[in-house]
């Protein structure tokens, strides 16, 4: 219990400091205040300008380097990468600051795995697998018709396709990806993409087609259809990303 007259202190979240620094550097890169190939001010100078500790600046630079925005050259300084201000790199940096994974990195992983799951499901599925998949398609149709959020049943369908492959490693990998799809940045971007006119119905039709190919044991078609589905999800995410990144001009720190 705090003694009377003494202030109550709360721990300051360090992540909030370095994330604010990272956001300002990103804004400077995107606005052209830090052009491609140009050096950032020295760490000490940035710490003074931002009025933060050098540790926070160092952590912000580390995150932005990992995201492909900055290039730290030992003995030379820190430079803006040529395409460091691209939508993909900015999203990756913001996801890292938030402790999440970039939605675009997630779709790349899904596009690598899920067509393989569909291909193997078409050759290994059982009658029970087909019942589960068909029921999920019907559930998704009902949710969309009633104006609900189909994200959960959508993810369940993809997990069921992996389960139908009867390959425990594929299923474990898909389960990890489904868990990552619960992260805030993925959920928000995908929800905006799905809310576009007829987009939810369009994704539902993809699921119907994948199900039918699996039902017919057409493994080549199942793989192809799932690959098309992943490609169109990526296109939708990129479209939403382009429309949501509206930065005002940033002052040079």
32 pLDDT band, cuts 50/70/90, is confident
pLDDT tens track for 195-244: 777 889 999 999 999 999 999 999 999 999 999 999 999 988 888 776 65
Instruction: Dump strand ranges (E) for 55-150.
Output: 70-73, 77-80
The residue behind tokens 């009902």 is 142
Instruction: Tell me how far apart the alpha carbons of residues 175 and 160 are, in angstroms, rounded to a whole number.
Output: 10
**Does the structure show a pLDDT above 70 at 181?**
yes
25: helix, coil or strand? helix
Identify the structural domains of the chain with CATH numbers, from first to last. Answer: 14-97 (1.10.10.10), 103-244 (1.20.120.530)
Residue 7, pLDDT > 90, answer no
92 is written with which tokens?
């990756």
Task: State the angle between helix axes of 151-164 and 103-124 in degrees (0 to 180), rounded to the nearest 10.
Answer: 50
Q: CA–CA separation, 73 vs 20, rounded Å? A: 23
Return the pLDDT at 244. 57
Q: In sequence order, what are the beta bridge partners of 73?
A: 77
Express as a percent the part of the chain with pLDDT over 70. Answer: 89
Which pLDDT band, with edges at 50, 70 and 90, does 33 fall under?
A: confident
Please give the C-alpha separations between residue 99 and each of 26, 65, 176, 230, 238, in angstroms, as whole numbers: 17, 15, 16, 24, 21
Q: Is the dihedral of CA 146, 147, 149, 152 positive or negative?
A: positive
Torsion of Cα atoms, 231 then 232 then 233 then 237, to 10°: 100
Q: What is the pLDDT of residues 113-148, one digit of tens each?
A: 999 999 999 999 999 999 999 999 999 999 999 999
Residue 99 confidence (pLDDT): 83
End-to-end CA distance of the chain: 42
pLDDT at 156 over 70: yes
Q: Of how many residues is the chain composed?
A: 253
Query: Is residue 98 predicted with pLDDT exceeding 90?
Result: no
């Amino acid at each position: 219990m705090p003694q009377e007259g003494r202030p109550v202190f709360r721990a300051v979240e360090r992540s909030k400091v370095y994330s604010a620094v990272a956001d300002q550097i990103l804004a400077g890169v995107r606005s052209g205040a830090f052009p491609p190939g140009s050096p950032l001010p020295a760490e000490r100078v940035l710490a003074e300008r931002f009025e933060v500790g050098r540790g926070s600046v160092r952590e912000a630079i580390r995150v932005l380097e990992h995201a492909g925005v900055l290039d730290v050259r030992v003995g030379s300084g820190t430079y803006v990468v040529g395409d460091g201000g691209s939508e993909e790199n900015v999203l990756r940096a913001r996801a890292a600051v938030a402790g999440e994974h970039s939605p675009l990195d997630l779709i790349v992983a899904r596009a690598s795995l899920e067509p393989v799951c569909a291909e193997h499901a078409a050759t290994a599925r059982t009658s029970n697998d087909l019942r589960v998949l068909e029921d999920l398609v019907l559930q998704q149709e009902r949710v969309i018709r009633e104006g609900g959020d189909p994200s959960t049943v959508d993810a369940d369908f993809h997990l069921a396709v992996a389960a139908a492959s009867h390959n425990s490693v594929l299923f474990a990998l898909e389960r990890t990806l489904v868990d990552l799809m619960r992260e805030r940045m993925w959920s928000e971007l995908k929800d905006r993409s799905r809310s576009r006119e007829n987009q939810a119905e369009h994704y539902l039709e993809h699921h119907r087609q994948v199900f039918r190919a699996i039902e017919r044991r057409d493994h080549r078609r199942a793989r192809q259809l799932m690959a098309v589905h992943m490609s169109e999800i990526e296109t939708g995410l990129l479209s939403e990303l382009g429309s949501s990144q509206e930065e005002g001009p940033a002052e040079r720190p």
